[in-house]
Structure 1
Amino acid sequence: MRNLKKHQNYLLLWQGQLISAAGDVMYEIALGFFLLQAYRSSALMAAVVAATAVPGLIAAPFAGVVIDRCNQKRILVLADLSRGLVMTAAALWTFLGGIPLWMFSLTGTVVSVGGAFFTPCVRSVMPRVVEEETLMRANSMISLAGRLTQTAGNSAGGFLYGFLGAWPLFFLNGISFLVSGGLSLF
Structure 2
Amino acid sequence: MRPFALVWGGQLVSVVGSALTGFVLAVWVYQVTGSVTQLALVTAANTVPGILLAPLAGVVADRWDRRRLMIIADFAAAVPTAVVAALYWTGQLEVWQLYLTTACTAAAGVFHSSAYFTMVPKLVPKRHLGRINGLFQVNFAMAAAAPVLGGILLSTLDVDGVLLLDLATFVFAATALMVVRLPEGATRATEGKAGPRSMLGDLGYAFRYLARRPGLLWLIGFSALFDLLFAFAEVLIRPLILAFSSPATLGLLMFVGGAGLFAGTLTMTAWGGPRRKVSGSLLFTGIGGVALALHSLAPSTLLIAIVAPVFLFTLPIVNGCVMTVFQTKVDSDALGRVTGLARVLWQAATPLGALIAGPLADLIFEPAMRAGGTLAGSAGSLLGTGPGRGIALLYAVIGLLLVLLAIAGSRLRRLRHLEDDLPDAVSDKEPTEPTPTR
TM-score bucket of the superposed structures, by smaller chain: 0.7 to 0.9
Q: In structure 2, what is the Cα distance between the partners aligned to 1:157 and 1:102?
A: 22
- Whether the aligned pair in 2 keeps the contact of 1:21 and 1:146 (CA below 8 Å) is yes
Please name the residue that 1:164 is paired with.
157
The amino acid that maps onto 1:148 is: A
Identity of aligned residues (%): 26
Please name the residue that 1:47 is paired with.
41
Describe the superposition over 1:82-107 as per-residue Cα deviations: whole angstroms up to 9, x where unpaired. Answer: 11122123213212221244432222
Please name the residue that 2:14 is paired with.
20
Partner residue of 1:146 out of 114, 139, 158? 139
The amino acid that maps onto 2:77 is: R
- Whether the aligned pair in 1 keeps the contact of 2:80 and 2:102 (CA below 8 Å) is no
Query: What stretches of structure 1 of length at least 5 have no aligned partner?
Result: none
Query: SS where residue 98 of structure 1 aligns?
Result: coil
Cα 1:136/1:36, change in 2 over 3 Å? closer
By percentage of residues, which structure has more helix? 1
TM-score w.r.t. length of structure 2: 0.38
1:7-156 equivalent positions in 2, closer than 5 A:
7=2, 9-143=3-137, 145-156=138-149
Q: In structure 1, what is the Cα distance between the partners aligned to 2:122 and 2:113?
A: 16
- Pairs aligned (count): 179
Which range moved further: 164-173 or 44-53? 44-53
Cα 1:131/1:105, change in 2 over 3 Å? same
Q: In structure 1, what is the Cα distance between the partners aligned to 2:55 and 2:133?
A: 22
Which range moved further: 10-19 or 126-135? 126-135
Say what the alpha-carbon RMSD is for the aligned residues: 2.2
The amino acid that maps onto 1:23 is: G
Cα 1:136/1:81, change in 2 over 3 Å? same
Q: In structure 2, what is the Cα distance between the partners aligned to 1:132 and 1:51?
A: 35
Cα 1:132/1:50, change in 2 over 3 Å? closer
Describe the superposition over 1:16-51 as per-residue Cα deviations: whole angstroms up to 9, x where unpaired. Answer: 221111112111111111123344544323223323
- Whether the aligned pair in 2 keeps the contact of 1:95 and 1:167 (CA below 8 Å) is yes
Partner residue of 1:178 out of 171, 180, 184? 171
Shift of 1:73: 1.0
Shift of 1:128: 3.0
Query: SS where residue 71 of structure 2 aligns?
Result: helix
Cα 1:87/1:135, change in 2 over 3 Å? same
- Whether the aligned pair in 1 keeps the contact of 2:81 and 2:163 (CA below 8 Å) is yes
Describe the superposition over 1:79-138 as per-residue Cα deviations: whole angstroms up to 9, x where unpaired. Answer: 111111221232132122212444322221122112212123112112333445544433
Which range moved further: 68-77 or 87-96? 87-96
Which range moved further: 90-99 or 124-133? 124-133
TM-score w.r.t. length of structure 1: 0.83
Query: What stretches of structure 2 of length at least 5 have no aligned partner?
Result: 181-438
Which range moved further: 28-37 or 94-103? 94-103
User: Using CA pairs below 8 Å that are at least 6 residues apart, which structure has the higher relative contact order?
Assistant: 1
Query: SS where residue 47 of structure 2 aligns?
Result: helix
The amino acid that maps onto 2:136 is: I
